[in-house]
A = this chain, B = another copy of it.
């Protein structure tokens, strides 16, 4: 049985490894979890004892098979609960993340699998992020961050890879949502920002924002 703290570490490692079994550094985990490197080292030892990660002193840590499955399950729960909050309880997309951070730790496979069915087996969460299925497999989609998308081509926003409410509220302000059509007019070299057209209206966005927008060619 995994503790809440262990689950949060596994989830952080999964995210930092870009959802693979790549090696992740102690410092990166500490930063992600807003904790100290020494705390991370201690927890990694516990996770190693439980065979949830592979670890070599000073060399970093990677998820084991079972650690990966555990972490994916938490992401599955997080994203399904976000769907529930938006589609059944009328939450806005910027209100769901913090509650889902709590709900993702509820332990009951019957609960989450019933919820999945109740929601109609959604493929993506309210931010367009893919939901692992009951076997832990992702529907991989062919998208690029807007920051890497070519100029002058119509793209569709299919997701936002960051659940920070301040970002999401800003996107609302820009009238930018899942399904919006965008075209990059111009990349500004000086600060890596972008002139873009969103639903036929001219806008300017920073590199930091552009990185979070997942775009599919139309």
Interface residues of A (CB under 8 A from B): 85, 88-91, 95, 98-99, 102-103, 106-108, 110-111, 114-115, 118
Contact = CB atoms under 8 A, between A and B. Distances in A.
Given A99-B111, A102-B107, A103-B103, 15 more contacts: A85-B111, A88-B118, A89-B114, A89-B115, A89-B118, A90-B114, A91-B110, A91-B114, A95-B110, A98-B108, A99-B106, A99-B108, A99-B110, A102-B106, A103-B106
Contacts of A89: 111, 114-115, 118
A109 to B, nearest CB: 11
21 contacts: A85-B111, A88-B118, A89-B111, A89-B114, A89-B115, A89-B118, A90-B114, A91-B110, A91-B114, A95-B110, A98-B108, A99-B106, A99-B108, A99-B110, A99-B111, A102-B106, A102-B107, A102-B108, A103-B103, A103-B106, A106-B106
Contacts of A106: 99, 102-103, 106
A114 B118 CA distance: 17
Contacts of A90: 114
